Chains A and B, each alone.
Chain A
């Protein structure tokens, strides 16, 4: 059965999951990822753990996004923030689940993320003397703290506060917005329609 195969991460035919399967999978919190040339349906955390290929972001951008997301909301890296953002950027705008969708950031949103990440890295190199991914948490803290008030300098990209809020929201979605997170925090999930396996 195709759907079962896809959920199990087993090899599919060369065309990958059909649209019905993809839609159904999206409804239970999975995205299509390419792992070693095979399309499989995984959660963002699983996709990261299995080294799924990114569709939109470069490896460098993904590493930077993971580092920034982890600095903002501990746990975001392992939760798969880069794969979560990447999978949603690959979707049509009206199917995106990203907070950026209602922060009035004009599309294309992949350009927004790329520009924000580039600005962050450039600021890190200028202020801290190292790429952001190499900055220690203690060193990065004042740099990040200057983003929301917009006092970070140098900064050449989308508004620093907007970029900070966007990535922080993505990270918070994964770390605090899932059913597992609710359970961890002992907050009753109280679903009307039982939510996806992951969120």
Chain B
């Protein structure tokens, strides 16, 4: 049996598992379950993207961003929902940059070690074998020895990616300050690997990688899921879970197709892998039966502890050099984690810091050259652009945002498909998290200046990545799921994605997302309905 993309009218009404969301976690779950012989239906609201849809253009890349019901974003440090969320098969991983560092052991034990934030119900050692297996499966390029900060784990299966002038110039500043740099660990192929071609370094990762050098779901777990027999329905907005015979059971999900027709998909297991924002939204909208406070929300914690990373952007000119800032990869060419220790920055800051050096900058778009000096316009902008497209360099300091109960995904008063309420994200950084970003900017200015950059400046603090909202834990009164993503309150409901993270660290979340999803999916297969 082989899987396929199916019209909603022909979708099976009952399967062993229904998976909500065809992003990274959803496709991984679909592959593992389908290969185990389970019948799987995957529902996704967006289109069924193909590699040929991924035009090399910042303008056209916007089609890959969230196109569903509007997400309100508010708070003192509002989260960039529209930029971070994905749309269609592949989800956010279709336009993600493939920067794949592992979380550090201290990220799992922050509450115990420092009395701040939360602890995970598992430690790094529990997740390490899954990191190792995922990197072997999808192909990660890097230099484990050069990453002196890296926790124990198998070496990368591929050597590091090629570096260009921008990375070499920025590294000089770190070295001048006695700091280290290492090639960034990237889920992008430095060599041909398992039938996929090596990266061409054209820097269009943000627009999706049509050759499949970057490990997006279209070339990793999606083909396995389809081959295993999973059925995919696109244009399917899941509105709510359907209660089962008891409050501890879900019978399946309700969804609305592109014509506005409502369908039900019944299943033994429901897997919510919609996104960090959409998973809580669906749960909170599920008020059937006795779920008066939303499905799986007896604790009142569905949607709570939403987290994001701060970004300190530091720029400088190297007028005597062609920085080749249009070459490479959108993620980063090199990294530094000298200040990953939670208290290493001092000065009232608390939380980890990760530097990413030399991402590709195209002339336009949010992360492009023109936005590096958003205050310039007119003739001043014209002059800036002529200089910057050949001589600008940038590095980003990703700062940890602490898990705060008040940061949340909640329902707004706006009505979306099927009459359900649309989500609102409320987010403000803790003062010590703001301090991390402020100190990162000051640190970065010193570094880039030490490397010989002229006229260095720091951009305004931004945000990236989305975590929390359906956190895992051992205590059902203080978390939404167990360490495998199983709901504490609904026995046949599994939640997947970075929404499970109790802490955010300062690492790009998709590698950990994959490792957690593999651990959970295999656990689910081993203990199917027992």
The residues of A with any CB-CB pair to B shorter than 8 Å are: 27, 71-74, 93-99, 101-104, 106-107, 137, 141, 144-145, 148, 165, 168-169, 172-173, 176-177, 181-182, 185-196, 199
Contact = CB atoms under 8 A, between A and B. Distances in A.
B200 A97 contact: no
A144 B55 CA distance: 34
Contact of A185 (B80, B327, B389): B389
6 contacts: A27-B55, A141-B378, A148-B375, A176-B385, A187-B389, A190-B200
Contacts of B202: 190-192
Contacts of A74: 378-379, 381-382
A173 B377 contact: no
B185 interface: no
A97 B211 CA distance: 23
A104 B378 contact: no
Contacts of B385: 176, 185
Contacts of B211: 192
Contacts of B210: 192-193
Interface in B46-94: 46, 52, 54-60, 62-63, 65-68, 70-73, 78, 80-83, 87
Contact of A193 (B54, B59, B73, B389): B54
B57 A196 contact: yes
B365 interface: yes
Contact of B365 (A177, A190, A192): A177
B257 to A, nearest CB: 15
A177 to B, nearest CB: 4
B488 interface: no
B326 interface: yes
Nearest to A141: B378
Interface of B: 46, 52, 54-60, 62-63, 65-68, 70-73, 78, 80-83, 87, 200, 202-204, 209-211, 326-327, 362-366, 368-371, 374-375, 377-379, 381-382, 385-386, 389-390, 414
A72 B70 contact: no
A145 B82 CA distance: 26
B362 to A, nearest CB: 7
Nearest to B381: A73
Nearest to A92: B67
Nearest to A102: B82
Nearest to B377: A72
Contacts of A145: 375, 377
B62 A187 contact: no
A73 B380 CA distance: 9
B370 A191 contact: no
Contacts of B370: 73, 168-169, 172, 176
A97 B60 CA distance: 6
Contacts of A190: 56, 200, 202-204, 326-327
Nearest to A98: B62
A176 B62 contact: no
Given A106-B72, A176-B370, A187-B363, A73 B377 contact: yes
Contact of A188 (B71, B326, B368): B326
Nearest to A70: B378
A101 to B, nearest CB: 5
Nearest to A165: B374
A193 B56 contact: yes
A178 to B, nearest CB: 8
Contact of B378 (A71, A176, A177, A181): A71
A96 B365 contact: no
A115 B371 CA distance: 23
A196 B81 CA distance: 28
B59 A192 contact: no
Given A102-B80, A104-B81, A191 B56 contact: yes
Looking at B210, B362, B378, the one whose CB has the most chain A CB atoms below 10 A away is B378
A187 B361 CA distance: 11
Nearest to B51: A193
Given A94-B46, A173-B364, A185-B363, A101 B65 contact: yes
Nearest to B203: A190
B71 A187 contact: no
Nearest to B414: A106
